[in-house]
Amino acid sequence: MPRISKVTWPKMRMAYGDMFDIRSAVELEDWFLQVRVPAGQKEFTDAVETLRAGSNGSHAREGALILTVAEIRGCSILDSMCEINDRLMNAMRLALSESGRIFISWKGAWFTMTDELKVTQSRKIDLWALPSAKLTISKWPNGKHYYARLGDAEVVVYGKEKWDTYAEAEAAGKKFMRSKRR
C-alpha cells in the first residue's frame, strides 16, 4: 500500500511537502507502474506530436528529454524513452538498496533519506495520488466517452472507467476521490 510523508530539510529551511515515501523494491516497482508509466506515456505522446508538427523538439514540453536523448544517441524516440526509464529505475533501485528509503515528488523528482531530513505526518494511502492531485476529465478527439483521472490514477467506479457525459465523469471522479485515502 502506498505511503506519503511530509519531508523537510530544517538546516536549509526547505519544506518539500507531501512526497511518496518508498521503503521497498515492491513499492518502487508499484510506483513505477502506477505513476511513472502513465507519465512516460504523456511524454512519449508529446514527443510524437512535436515531431508530427515538424518541430525540431524546441516546442516539446513533457517529451523534450525523450527527443533530446534520441537526437544525441541517434536512436528512435521509443529507444530513448526505454533508456531513460531504465536508467531512472536502476538509479532508484541502487539508492533504495543503499539508503533504505527514497522520497518522490509529484513531478518525479526524488532523493534518498539522510540524517538531515525530517519526516512528519507519514501515512498510508489507497492509491498513488498525492493530496494535491487534481481531478481531470478528458475525451479522445472525436471520441464518444469521457474519462476521469486523479493525478495519474485512472478513476474506476463500480468497474466503470468511461462515461457518456462530462457531468457523469466528473461525478464519478468526485465519488472516487471521497472513497480513497490520499
Contacts of 172 (CB under 8 A, 6+ apart): 148, 155, 157, 160, 163
d(C-alpha 15, C-alpha 113), whole Å: 14
pLDDT of amino acid 60: 64
Q: Give me the tens of pLDDT residue by residue for the chain, a chain 182 residues long.
A: 899 999 999 999 999 999 999 999 999 999 999 889 888 888 898 888 888 887 655 566 778 889 999 999 999 999 999 999 999 999 999 999 999 999 999 889 999 999 999 998 999 988 888 888 889 999 888 889 999 988 878 888 888 999 999 999 999 999 888 887 76
In this prediction the pTM is 0.80
d(C-alpha 8, C-alpha 120), whole Å: 8
pLDDT of amino acid 57: 56
Domain boundary assignment for the chain = 3-124, 135-179
Q: Identify the H or E element spanning 45.
A: helix 37-52
Place of cell 468497474: 159
DSSP string for residues in 93-121? HHHHHHHS-EEE-TTS-EEE--TT-EEEE
What is the number of residues in the chain? 182
pLDDT of amino acid 46: 85
